[in-house]
């Protein structure tokens, strides 16, 4: 006797469906590997910047891949791995925000108006900037790219307004100076490998309060921009140098309880770089807390409006943010940043 057993044989997926499934698996694995690299190397200038700029884009792409996987892939394990990578991106964002320094509530009415201006050492229209400074009338003015000519103009025009100053002039981009309505002391220059200053630390006393001003002009990545064929290597070198310079600033400004610290000037760093993210763990960005309008300061030219943020007022210690704004015009390649804090 013969028995015929009819075994069920599942239909083979069409060739096109199989190709889609294979492609999706490859894309999901590649996406997960990319996310792991972004998180493991979040302090590297490439991976860290990519994560900061593209975070929400990565989440959207991951969700799209998950949705497609439910239609074309039967492997639940791969879907769970994909969801886990998306969760890690979200947790990294929460961790970053949780570690940002919160501003202090200061129980006083003492206010201080600040202004930082990269004057541009080739500037041929100083009257435009002088007019802006007079209109804002800051208590403390910090400048970068202070040439001997600029120093003479500022002293002649604003000497009576700012009886106290600590300056270092240079024919190129490394001049730096602080002009103040309050007495200045403890002037310290931090010097780069070429014996030029990248930061200036002075102490200001306002009534019974001690304020440490760190006027900063970090190393410029201009050479990387000017040589696009070697951009990555040159920018990497510049990024490392800026990290070193900020570490030197941190070491030179040891925190004293009750004092106010102001890191102000041209940091040559965008908010999308890990350097800035790490700064926010110890410093409060005055514009981010209390600014109005756009905070783009560079490049200011007759052909383009600024699209990068390079200039900052950062505070820590006994201070809180009140207001901040970018001046809408000027004759320098940087726009000026002014802010008001309570100390």
Q: What is the tens place of the pLDDT at every residue in 207-253?
A: 889 999 999 999 999 999 999 999 999 999 999 999 999 999 999 88
Tally Cβ neighbours within 10 Å of residue 309.
Answer: 22
* pLDDT band at residue 7 using 50, 70 and 90 as cut-offs: low
Q: What percentage of the chain has pLDDT greater than the value 70? A: 95
Rounded average pLDDT over 133-159: 97
Q: Does residue 286 or residue 207 have the better pLDDT?
A: 286
Tally Cβ neighbours within 10 Å of residue 315.
Answer: 28
* pLDDT band at residue 8 using 50, 70 and 90 as cut-offs: low
Q: What is the tens place of the pLDDT at every residue in 11-24?
A: 655 677 788 889 99
Q: What is the tens place of the pLDDT at every residue in 109-137?
A: 899 999 999 999 999 999 999 999 999 99
Rounded to whole angstroms, the Cα distance separating 176 from 119 reads 10
Task: Name the residue among 253, 167, 166 with its Cα closest to residue 214.
Answer: 253
Cα torsion 219, 297, 264, 141: sign: positive
Task: Name the residue among 153, 190, 143, 147 with its Cα closest to residue 172.
Answer: 147
What b-and-e string marks burial along 175-209, b requiring 16 or more CB atoms within 10 Å of the CB?
Answer: bbbbbbbbebeeeeebebeeebbbbbbbbbebeeb
- Burial of residue 251 (number of CB atoms within 10 Å: 0-12, 13-18, 19+): exposed
Residue 36 region, left (φ>0) first, then alpha (ψ -120 to 50), else beta? alpha
* pLDDT band at residue 285 using 50, 70 and 90 as cut-offs: very high
Residues contacting residue 177 through CB under 8 Å, at least 6 positions apart: 142, 143, 146, 151, 154, 165, 166, 167, 168, 169, 200, 215
Rounded to whole angstroms, the Cα distance separating 301 from 338 reads 20
E strand spans, the chain: 111-118, 140-144, 164-168, 176-180, 184-191, 197-206, 209-217, 260-266, 284-285, 311-317, 320-326, 337-342
Q: Are 146 and 167 in contact (CB under 8 A)?
A: yes
Q: How remote is the C-alpha of 14 from its chain's centroid?
A: 51
Domains of the chain, CATH where assigned: 15-98 (no CATH), 111-342 (3.60.10.10)
Q: What is the tens place of the pLDDT at every residue in 177-200?
A: 999 999 999 999 999 999 999 999
Rounded to whole angstroms, the Cα distance separating 147 from 311 reads 19
Classify residue 214 by its DSSP letter.
E
Residues counted in the chain: 343
């Amino acid at each position: 006797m013969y028995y015929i057993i009819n075994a069920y044989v599942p239909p083979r997926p069409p060739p096109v469906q199989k190709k889609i499934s294979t492609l999706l698996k490859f894309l999901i694995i590649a996406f997960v590997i990319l996310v792991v690299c972004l998180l493991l190397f979040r302090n590297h200038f490439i991976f860290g910047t990519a994560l900061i700029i593209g975070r929400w884009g990565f989440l959207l792409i991951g969700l799209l891949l998950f949705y497609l996987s439910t239609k074309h892939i039967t492997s639940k394990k791969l879907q769970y791995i994909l969801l886990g990578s998306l969760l890690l991106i979200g947790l990294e964002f929460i961790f970053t925000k949780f570690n940002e320094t919160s501003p202090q509530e200061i129980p006083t009415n003492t206010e201080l108006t600040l202004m930082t201006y990269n004057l541009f050492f080739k500037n041929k229209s100083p009257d435009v900037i002088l007019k802006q400074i007079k209109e804002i009338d800051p208590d403390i003015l910090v400048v970068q790219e202070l040439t001997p000519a600029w120093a003479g103009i500022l002293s002649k025009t604003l000497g009576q307004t700012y009886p106290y100053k600590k300056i270092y002039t240079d024919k190129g981009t490394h001049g730096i100076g602080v002009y103040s309505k309050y007495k200045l002391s403890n002037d310290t220059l931090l010097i780069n490998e070429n014996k030029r200053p990248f930061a200036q630390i002075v102490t200001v006393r306002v009534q019974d309060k001690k304020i440490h001003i760190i006027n900063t002009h970090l190393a410029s990545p201009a050479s990387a921009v000017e040589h696009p064929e070697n951009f990555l290597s040159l920018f990497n070198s510049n990024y490392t140098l800026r990290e070193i310079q900020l570490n030197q600033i941190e070491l030179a400004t040891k925190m004293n309880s009750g004092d106010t610290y102001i890191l102000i000037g041209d940091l040559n760093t965008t908010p999308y770089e890990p350097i800035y993210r790490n700064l926010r763990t110890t410093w409060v960005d005055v514009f981010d807390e209390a600014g109005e309008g756009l905070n783009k300061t560079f490049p200011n030219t007759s052909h383009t409006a600024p699209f990068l943020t390079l200039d900052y007022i950062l505070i820590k210690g006994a201070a809180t943010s009140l207001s901040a704004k970018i001046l809408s015009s000027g004759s320098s390649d940087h726009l000026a940043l002014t802010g008001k804090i309570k100390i």
